Amino acid sequence: MTLRIDKRNFQGIGRRELLKLTPVALLGAFTIRKLQEPLLKAGLGFSDWTSKQLFRSGHLATTFADSEVTPFSKFPINDYDVDDPGVDFDRWTLTVTGAVEKPGDYTLAQIQTLPRVRQNTRHVCVEGWDVIGRFGGARLSDFLKTIGADLNARFVYVECADDYYESIDMPTALHPQTLLCYEMYDQPLTREHGAPLRLTIPTKIGYKQAKYLTDLKVTNLLPRAGYWEDQGYSKFYGL
Amino acid sequence: MGATTVAIEDVKSGEVTEAVYEHPLPVRICHWINAVSLLVMAGSGLQIFRAFPSFGAKIPQKDLLNWPKSLAIGGWLGGALQWHLTFMWIYIGTGLIYLGYQVFSGNYKQVLFVPRDIAGVWPMVRHYFFFGPKPSVQEAYNPLQKQAYSSVIILGLLSVATGFAVWKPIQFSWLAWMMGGFHYARLLHFLIMWAMLGFVFGHLVMVVLHGWNNFLSMLTGWKKDPEYITK
C-alpha cells in the first residue's frame, strides 16, 4: 500500500525533517570565540579524567631487551630552554617541602642509598617520536616513604634548575617504574639529560619527565600544573 | 525492505512521483556530526603530525612531508591536541550511536556488504570507470556503494583502535602490541586517516555526479523518484 500525499504537504514533511537536524548545528559552538576555549578545555579535561580512570597501579610499562635499546648517541635531548643550566654538583641538593614528615635538603648520595632500579623502557614524546632508553635510579615511591610523605596527598610537584616545573598525580608517583633517575645507559646522568637528577616515568608522556630537579613538594594544591600544561597541554597525559 | 514509500500527487498537473524514506533521523544526524568531526580529527591530526612529520628515528630525522599549516587545525601542537582529544569523544560517540541504531533497527541491511553483493561489484566498477552498461538498481545502495560504506565503517573502527594504541600504548598495551607497538600504531593511524580521506573524496565526487536529489535525501531522509522503484 502506497500512501498518496499532496505535493505541498510533502514539501512540509521535508522541511520538518530538515529542521530535526538542528542538533548538528550545536557543533557550531566550537566556532564561537568565547565558547571555543572553555569547550576545548572541557574536552581535554574529560580526556584527562578518562586517563586517570584507565591508569592501573600494578600494570607495568613494557620493558625491552638490551639489544632493542636506542643507542645513547641517538637519544634526543629536548629542553624548553638550555641544554645545561649550570648546576653546581658539589652544592646540589634536592629540597623537599610540603606534606612530609622529614622536609629538608637531600644529597644525591642519600638518594643513592635507596635500592637502585635499572630498566629499559620506551620514552614517548608528545611530538610523536619515541626511543627506548636505559634508565637507572631510585624508585620515587621509596624516596617518598623515606621522607615520610603523606601518600594520600594528591600530587608530587617538582621544580628544576632551568625554571621548568612539573606535577604528577600520586598514583603515578607511587608506580614501581617511576624513578628518581641518576643514571642513563649505566653511566651517571649527563648534564644535557638532566644531571644530577631527573624523573623517569614510563607511564607518562615525555614532557612530564622533568630534568635538573632541585625541589620536590608533596601537596594537595597545585598553584601551577607544569610548564607546558599551563600553556594548554594535557595535565595528566598518561600513556 | 521496510522503507516507507509515498506517492506525491501534484494537484494541478495530476503528475505522480514516488518518494522513499531512505535515511532515518539517527542516521542523518550521525552522518553530519561525523562528517564535521572527521574533518576536525584529520585537520588537528595533521597539525599534530607537523610536530614530527616522520615515521623514522628522531636522530637523524627525515621528514616525510611538510604539511601546510593553513590546511591544519589548532595553530600549534598543544592547540591541535585539544581539538583532537575533544572531538575524538564526539567521533566515538556518534560512531557508537550509529552502530547501535543500525543493529537494533535492522537498518544495517541497507548498507551492510554481504557475500551475495560480491557479484555485483565489478559490473558497477565497469560502469563508473570504464563506461560499461549500467546494472539494474534494485536497492537503495548498489553493491559497490555497500562495499564502500561497509569498508569505511571498518576504517572508522580501526581509526579509533589505532588512536587508542597511540594515546594509551601502556594501558592498552595489548592493542599497541597487535599493531607492532606504539611506533607502528602511529603509522597505521596516519595511513587509516588517508584511506578515510580517500573515501571522502570519492564520496563527494559521487554526490556531485548524482546530483541534488541524492544530497537532499541525507538532509530530509526522503529520496524522490528513486531508480529502484518499479512503476
Residue-by-residue DSSP string for B42-96: HHHHHHHHHHS--SS-SSS---S----GGGSSSSSHHHHHHHHHHHHHHHHHHHH
Q: Report the percentage of chain A scoring pLDDT > 90.
A: 90
Name the minimum distance, in Å, from the CA of B126 to any CA of chain A.
35
The pLDDT-based confidence of A10 (bands split at 50, 70, 90) is: confident
Contact A167, A226 (CB under 8 A): yes
Which residue numbers in chain B have pLDDT < 70? 1-3, 229-231
End-to-end CA distance of chain B: 17
pLDDT at B142: 86
Q: Does A88 touch chain B (CB under 8 A)?
A: no
Residue B136: CB atoms within 10 A of its CB come to 10
Contact A5 B170 (CB under 8 A): no
Euclidean distance between CA atoms A110 and B182, whole angstroms: 36
| Interchain contact, A239 vs B54, CB within 8 Å | no
- Residue A133 phi, psi dihedral angles, 5° rounding: -120, 165
Give the A:B interface size as CB pairs under 8 Å: 147
The pLDDT of residue B231 is 45
Number of domains in chain A: 1
Confidence at A41, pLDDT banded by 50, 70, 90: very high
How confident is the model at residue B2, as a pLDDT?
Answer: 53
pLDDT of residue B195: 97
pLDDT above 90 (res A216): yes
- Quick check: A64 and B108 in contact, CB under 8 A? no
Distance from CA of A29 to the nearest CA of B (A): 13
Residue A16 maps to a domain? no
Could you report the per-residue pLDDT of B158-181, keeping only the tens digit for each?
999 999 999 999 999 999 999 999
A223 has a pLDDT exceeding 90: no
Calculate mean pLDDT across residues A23-46.
95
d(CA B213, CA B102): 23
For B26-61+68-211, CATH number out of 3.50.50.60, 1.25.40.10, 2.60.40.740, 1.20.950.20 equals: 1.20.950.20
How much is the mean pLDDT over chain A?
A: 95
Classified as helix, coil or strand, A203 is: coil
* pTM attached to this predicted model: 0.94
Q: CATH no. for residue A193?
A: 3.90.420.10
**pLDDT of the residue at B7:** 87
Residue A163 structural domain = 60-231
Q: Is B180 left (phi over 0), alpha (psi -120 to 50) or beta?
A: left
A179 confidence band (pLDDT: 50, 70, 90): very high
Q: Does the structure show a pLDDT above 80 at A68?
A: yes
Please report the pLDDT score of residue B230 as a whole number.
54
According to the model, what pLDDT value does residue B1 have? 44
Complex ipTM: 0.94
Instruction: Calculate mean pLDDT across residues A169-193.
Output: 97
Residue A65 has pLDDT above 70, yes or no: yes
Q: Is there a domain that residue A40 lies in?
A: no
In chain B, residues with a C-beta closer than 8 Å to the C-beta of A27 are 33, 36-37, 90
A9 within some domain: no
In angstroms, what separates the C-alpha of B194 from chain A's closest C-alpha? 18
Q: Residues 96..155 of A with a Cβ closer than 8 Å to B: which?
A: 122, 124-131
